[in-house]
Chains A and B, each alone.
Chain A
Amino acid sequence: MRSRRDAPQLLLFLGGAATLTAFAITRLPPLTDLVHAPATPFDHSAPPAAVAQYRLFVEAAAVVPAGASVASLCAPRNPTCETVLHREAFALLPGRKVLAAAVWDTPTHSEDQADFLIIVGPKPATPPGSLVLETPAGSVWRRSGR
């Protein structure tokens, strides 16, 4: 008798749990992607451009030595984009002196003092130094005379 009175709430709990779990499963990436380790922690949770940027910074970490100063720029220049790039560079280039080309969407021009430049986007027409790395997302440059 008691069970019958409790049944609606119990069924709601369990039916709701099963439904939400089924929803969660349907939102997973395809099985082929589940069985391979992702290349970055953002492969299926960020736009492809952001994933490519993440990979650029990780690869830049291999060519920008510890202690070097580095700034990241957008091509074409965009202080909003460069504000975000500074934050990504600070996260992904530990041990380097990360200079902000822009803060809160305002240019700082600190990039003039950087040993290395990471340029997200197409290669600049005038090279800012010697090219040390190029990926589909951008390039890394050692500044001349530094």
Chain B
Amino acid sequence: MRAGLVWILSLASCPLAAWPLLAHGSYRRFSLACRLGLAAAVGSVLISAWMTLLALAGLAWRTIPLVALAAATAFLLRFLTEPEGARSLASARRDPASLFEKLALAVTAAAVLAALAAAASAAATSPDLLMIWGPKAQAFAAARTANTSVLRDPLLDYLHVSYPPLVTNLYAFASMAAGRLAWGAATLTFPLCLAALGLALPGVLRSVAPRRFARAASALIVSAFGFLGNELDVAGNGDPWLWLFEVLAMALLVGGAATTASGQLLAGLLLAGAICAKVEGLPFALAAVALFLALRRKDIRIGSAAVRLLLPGAVCLGSWFAFGATRRLFYGYEQYGRFLDIHWERLGPVLADIARFLWRAGWALPWLLPVAALLLARRKTRLALLPIVVAAMLAVFLAFTYLHSPDASLWIEWSAGRVFSPLLALLAIASLCREDDGDQSESNFTAC
């Protein structure tokens, strides 16, 4: 019990580590709750990044120095942001919340509590926690580095040797703090990520749409993830982390903050989190950045924006691949089949299986509701294309991946609901990208 408590509480280091950055004036446009949620996400990226860099350098992990290094990095990153106090103050006006907005917040809180109940009662635990994430993190924690003997062992290749390291690193970090991997506590990362998303998303979406829309859309996204998390058993695996990073990054990219250096830096750090949380984070980040640069080229300096958006991810993933290459463990991601070895004859069955398993998760309501919201949205702007096209590209990428297997039915059954889940949030965010009706109190930053 005590180990579990220490394990989960040690993750409070994440918001602490990133707070020096999120306390900067340029982020005060966001509410305190929003900055706390963002700090939790950014802090986890910084701690994991330092764990990978130290592993690359051959230095042992220690919890307190890791948090100190992450906090120092967060402090140094302040110098890459611009002082924007005046604009922040303009957006700091707070009107009292309407009953509708209070209801939206209440539903968000209820969704997080339901996720907590599911995880705490062992009703949402992912089998991958026991098969992949947990043992790998446990071995890393015991070795106090990315454990090369485990990664090199051919009998343990099911651990996905080259898989991006963020979730493993964070579980190893918490395990070092607690003295062991606390399996039950690891499942609580599902409601924890959902809570961080619930704290941050309404505030980030405020720079996209009026507050009532931001809160209502956040409620839908969080409750959809809460439902799917329980239905698809994601507690303890990488999906909740990916949701946190991808959704916040996309919400930032379509908002006004993304035209500023500080907003781009924040989005870049979140994209780095997505890239290092799961393999599908990389195509998401590349598509999102490419479309962002194309669609918002008139609002930004393309070169510097590209650097801020891509450099954090390049450092995080580059150091992981450098670690693999210098230890002769891996030189890229494992193969999921030869690139052009595609079973086109399986296209129909693959699409049918995907539809069947999305339907099985609550009659596909988590996806159909955002689609309906998108269709209902009035006067959508060109920027709505950013999440829509990224969602479409991800869907094609995932279907393309499944087509590499001669029979992907089983693979689709246990993964389709999870890997397609970020699409629902992208569509919900797209439905908020609409022309300004003049009722957006943060219109200084509104570009949608």
Contacts and interface: CB of A to CB of B under 8 A. Distances in A.
B114 A25 contact: yes
B184 A28 contact: no
Contacts, number: 166
A14 to B, nearest CB: 5
Interface in B354-378: 362, 365-366, 369, 372-373, 376-378
Contact of A87 (B114, B131, B181, B428): B131
Q: Is the interface of A mostly helix, strand, loop or mixed?
A: helix
Nearest to B135: A91
A146 interface: no
A2 B378 CA distance: 11
A46 B365 contact: no
Interface in B111-136: 111, 114-115, 117-118, 120-127, 129-131, 134-135
A20 interface: yes
Nearest to A108: B155
B67 to A, nearest CB: 24
Contact of A13 (B138, B155, B216): B216
Interface residues of A, number: 43
Contacts of B400: none
B122 A38 contact: yes
A27 B118 contact: yes
Contacts of A41: 122, 125, 129-130, 183-184, 186-187, 236
B100 interface: yes
Given A24-B227, A45-B124, A45-B125, A14 B118 contact: no
B220 interface: yes
Contacts of A24: 111, 114-115, 118, 223, 226-227, 230-231
A12 B372 contact: yes
A17 B223 contact: yes
A45 B233 contact: yes
Contacts of B222: 17
A38 B104 contact: no
A24 B362 CA distance: 10
A38 B121 contact: yes
A141 B124 CA distance: 33
Nearest to B134: A91
Interface stretch (A3-11, A114-122, A125-133): A3-11
Interface in B178-194: 180-181, 183-184, 186-187
Interface residues of B, number: 65
A13 B373 contact: yes
Contacts of B224: 16-17, 20
A128 B223 CA distance: 52
A18 B107 contact: yes
A91 B230 contact: no
B334 interface: no
Contacts of A92: 130
A88 interface: yes
A20 B118 contact: no
B280 to A, nearest CB: 23
Given A13-B104, A17-B108, A41-B122, A6 B135 contact: no
A23 B227 contact: yes
A2 B123 contact: no
Contacts of A12: 220, 369, 372-373, 376
Interface of B: 100, 103-104, 107-108, 110-111, 114-115, 117-118, 120-127, 129-131, 134-135, 138-139, 142, 155-156, 158, 180-181, 183-184, 186-187, 212-213, 216-217, 219-220, 222-224, 226-227, 230-231, 233, 235-236, 362, 365-366, 369, 372-373, 376-378, 428, 431, 437, 439
Given A21-B223, A87-B130, A94-B138, 9 more contacts: A10-B216, A14-B104, A21-B226, A23-B227, A24-B115, A28-B117, A29-B123, A45-B123, A91-B135
5 contacts: A2-B437, A9-B378, A34-B120, A37-B120, A38-B122
Interface of A: 2, 5-6, 8-10, 12-14, 16-21, 23-25, 27-29, 33-34, 37-38, 40-46, 54, 86-88, 90-92, 94-95, 100, 103
Chain A to chain B: the 6 pairs with minimum beta-carbon distance, closest first: A13-B216, A38-B122, A44-B123, A16-B369, A17-B219, A91-B135
